[in-house]
Chains A and B, each alone.
Chain A
Amino acid sequence: MRRHIISVLMENEPGALSRVVGLFAQRNYNIESLNVAPTDDPTLSRLTLTTIGVDDKIEQITKQLNKLIDVVKLVDLSEGSHIERELMFLKVKVSGAQRAEIKRTTDIFRGQIVDVTSSTYVIQLTGDSDKLDAFIQAVAPVSVLEVVRTGVSGIARGEKVLSL
């Protein structure tokens, strides 16, 4: 069992996303995270999906995805050297000495406090998923009101590109 990041270029058509998501549900594959947005080419969307599975299952997932008419091209980023990031917003309840402590922890993680009220912070953090998990652990003593994560986005290192 290994975590894979599957990056998909697909037609920017209504219903295309539901076909991809539907395929996972109907074939009993798991989606850990998913994000999708248009690219510089307005006819194409780029979707990044993380899933966990044994190699045979991942091979079958990529083959089945490739069969979808809306899927133009795909790559399993985790097969090569790649960069991955996730964006997180964390809303915490803070007061007194905690305010300074949380600010310090945020700085250590190279996050930013992007909203402040007398009783709350909204902290913005980017990094790989492990780093975000670690940050949540680190601020555990304070009361976390809300966590919003984008899911993983990834790109291959160097000259390797996923394009038409």
Chain B
Amino acid sequence: MELLSGAEMVIRSLADEGVEYIYGYPGGALLHVYDALFRQDRVTHILVRHEQAATHMADGYARASGKTGVALVTSGPGATNTITGIATAYMDSIPMVVISGQVPSDFIGTDMFQETDMVGISRPIVKHSFLVKRAEDIPMTIKKAFHIAQSGRPGPVVVDIPKDITNPSDKFEYVYPKKIKLRSYNPPQKGHSGQIRKALDLLMQAKRPIIYSGGGVILGQAADVLTELAQKLNFPVTNTLMGLGGYPGSDRQFLGMLGMHGSYAANLAMHHADVILAVGARFDDRVTNGVAKFCPTAKIVHIDIDPASISKNIRADVPIVGPVKAVLNEMLGAIKDSKREVDKEATNSWWKQIDEWRSSKGTFPYDPGDGGIIKPQAVIEALYEVTKGDAFVTSDVGQHQMFAAQYYKFDQPNRWINSGGLGTMGFGFPAAMGVKLHYPDHDVACVTGEGSIQMNIQELSTCLQYDLPIKIITLNNQALGMVRQWQDMQYDSRYSHSYMESLPDFKRLVEAYGHVGITVEKPDDLKGAMEEAFALKDRLVFLDVKVDPNEHVYPMQIKDGSMRDMWLSKTERT
């Protein structure tokens, strides 16, 4: 039997769990652990410049790979700096383990230097948390943390470890557990077959069906089976912001994203549907608009691994609790076995109606302008073209995020990485770094704004240290674009604090950090600059694109209306 200290057990447990990279920042409470880290070579540590970025990097990696991201931070401010990143992961159900140092056990509660109650502070935004009491418990606790983080509905787990528990002079027998069982935690492995039968009956009789698929399809690795089922049934598909890539974005059956900034056809099809197959989606307010007016004629089949997500906002007619992949597979199998057919006549005329909506308004139309100023939509179109739709795209939050979601067509899952639930500015850049570390041969682009990028811009330094040649594309409209849009539409254009005054010269700033900066001001230069950025394979390139500050994101649902109540432009509404 091998004898290890608590500190060594922390790192060894991570290695035995298969963790390659951890993102973190050292500090007093963690120095034993950092020393153990120094004396091994299985786990690679990435030193960030701010702990928030460590969690977003772990998160970006988790979203791209489907595995669990890990952050390592010290007590007090190190731990509290991760709160935004933990909350971001929690809202989007991302598997993450955050290991935080704590002051020595005897000092807990004495307001010691750099003490905070991390378990208490993070409680509302974690799937679970642990305060480790004995060094011997470290391997089992870390095993449990990973098990909880990545099974069922995934989420972040905090493991808080007091410094005395990691004392290098106290050694204990080390065995990393192979399996664990928690009597109070048994996520479902399959859906109820009776409910699945009921759902199939509804789907087969549907006249105006639609598939509304969310982030659960991506997390549940069910994109393939969803695609097969949708194509077998010939049903229209719409993705939520989190679900993009769960169905091929360039396919004929795809109507575009739905909801607040969803496409005209997707929102109208939802409104008029008679059967909605909701898969791994949680009827978020950014999708439903006013719940009282939501889809008045629809029967709803709702598949979700989390029973609490079913009938939380919108009551489901046929609830199915289970992993989306298992449930969809069972549905597909049943359809194939029974040789049942959908109502072809009805669905054909439904498609005719949908195609009419599509051709009358286009999926996401915009006015290209007179060529004097760059339209933000055109930047995303150029990005899509240059990367051939194959890049990992992360975003921050705001207009640029919506433009990216609307105009970049994701044909694969796990390629679109953004903070949908919490809406975290500062997420996109570190998330892109996490992706790039693990997928060094892929193009990774962070679409951001001049507001968002400044929330974690210090990580340019980390990128230099670890040589992370990502591409940052800033839709620079010199204003907090989405705030300004709302102020235009709801506050008579009183731009209260939505200006980004005193912006830095981003080109010179990134050059100071040792990277390449390119400023783009003319529409004619856009394509060339984008190509140049992606041609520089081994350099981080920051494209500062000056875009039209007056552009709005459309469609935009009208507050408290139904799915179909939208502004289609500044002057046209449905």
Q: Which residues of A contact B (CB under 8 A)?
A: 10-11, 14-15, 18-19, 22, 26, 56, 59-60, 63-64, 66-67, 69-73, 164
Contact = CB atoms under 8 A, between A and B. Distances in A.
Interface in B166-215: 182-185
B148 A69 contact: yes
B308 A67 contact: yes
Contacts of A15: 119, 123, 129, 131
B184 A56 contact: no
Contacts of A64: 308
B123 A60 contact: no
B311 A26 contact: no
B438 interface: no
B340 to A, nearest CB: 33
B128 interface: yes
Contacts of A67: 306, 308
A59 B315 CA distance: 12
Nearest to A43: B183
Contacts of A59: 311
Given A56-B311, A60-B308, A63-B308, A69 B184 contact: yes
A138 to B, nearest CB: 43
Shortest beta-carbon contacts, A-B, top 10: A63-B308, A72-B184, A69-B128, A26-B124, A69-B185, A63-B307, A64-B308, A22-B123, A67-B308, A60-B312
A164 B119 CA distance: 28
Contacts of B369: none
Contacts of A72: 183-184
A50 B120 CA distance: 24
A95 B336 CA distance: 85
16 contacts: A14-B131, A15-B119, A15-B123, A15-B129, A18-B123, A22-B123, A22-B124, A26-B124, A59-B311, A63-B307, A66-B308, A69-B128, A69-B148, A69-B185, A70-B184, A71-B184
A19 B120 CA distance: 9
Contacts of B184: 10-11, 69-73
B90 to A, nearest CB: 12
A70 B127 CA distance: 11
A118 B260 CA distance: 72
A71 B182 CA distance: 11
A19 B185 contact: no
Given A18-B120, A72-B183, A66 B311 contact: no
Contact of B123 (A10, A11, A19, A164): A19
Nearest to B309: A63
A13 to B, nearest CB: 10
Contact of B182 (A10, A26, A69, A73): A69
Contacts of A14: 131
A60 B185 CA distance: 18
A164 B308 contact: no
Interface in B110-159: 119-120, 123-124, 127-129, 131, 148
Contacts of A26: 124
A64 B153 CA distance: 13
Nearest to A26: B124
A10 B183 CA distance: 10
B72 to A, nearest CB: 22
A14 B119 CA distance: 11
